[in-house]
Amino acid sequence: MTTGITESIPVTEAADRSEAVTAALATVLDPELDRPITELGFVRSVGIDAGHVQARLRLPTYFCAPNFAWLMVEDARRALAALPWATEVTVVLEDHFASDEINHGVACGQEFAEAFPLLADPDRLEELRRTFLRKGYLAVQERLGRRLTDQGWTARQMAEARVADLPGRLITTLVRRRRALGLPADGVDPLFTDEHGRALLPVDLEAHLRRCRTIAVGISANTEMCEGLLATRYGPNTAGGTA
């Protein structure tokens, strides 16, 4: 990812703004891969001109699903618009068969169903978002469960554990995913739950983690495929935000 700053402001302030833009875009996930678009190399460039922030996005293929593309462009625009000093935000999706419709629709504040009336059920896009957030939440539990198992935790200990039982650095992503889904994430809440926030019995914990692993493997396989397609399309070393 390349960043250009054309305004005349102090160097330290310009650096702070550049970091803030990167941090904002890092909150935007590819819904299917459950990873930030900054890590995946989907942010081609960013420009800052006074209060105007511009971001150009790219995807692994010309025919990536327009609903997924819409979500990323819309989420990027919202994340950048939340910056307190941003007075104008422009997010442009490049090299996609529906770029014009997506860029225009998101910029005008349209719903996906308005821009793609033949493709969209008005309620379908938000449900799709939640479906993939749930999958991401389960994948996070798989990684946490594997780590705790390696440390000698039993299924009973994991099923009975509470959020407060682990240091914050180990559960940052877990808590973030729960909050995105509107699930409780206080210290007294169970550490492991199903995707709807329901606590698990010790006897069910191992089966739950096997299901989580199946989902995590699928996400990982899709991520590897997309990274390969992005590198084929734009050249090596494109993942990780380098252009």
pLDDT of residue 5: 62
- What does residue 122 show for φ and ψ, rounded to 5 degrees? -50, -30
The neighbouring-strand residues paired with 55 are 46, 91
CA 209 – CA 8 distance, rounded (Å): 53
Kindly tell me the sign of the dihedral angle through the C-alpha atoms of 146, 148, 152, 158. negative
Using CB atoms within 10 Å of the CB of residue 175, give its burial: 0 to 12 exposed, 13 to 18 middle, 19+ buried.
middle
- C-alpha distances in Å from residue 176, one per residue of 9, 16, 172, 173: 34, 24, 6, 5
Q: What is the pTM of this model?
A: 0.88
pLDDT tens digits for range 214-224: 999 999 999 99
pLDDT of residue 243: 45
Ordered by start, the domain boundaries in the chain are 2-120, 125-231
pLDDT-flagged residues of the chain (< 50): 242-243
CATH architecture of 2-120: 2-Layer Sandwich (3.30)
Radius of gyration, CA atoms only, the chain: 20
pLDDT of residue 6: 60
pLDDT of residue 9: 67
pLDDT of residue 119: 72
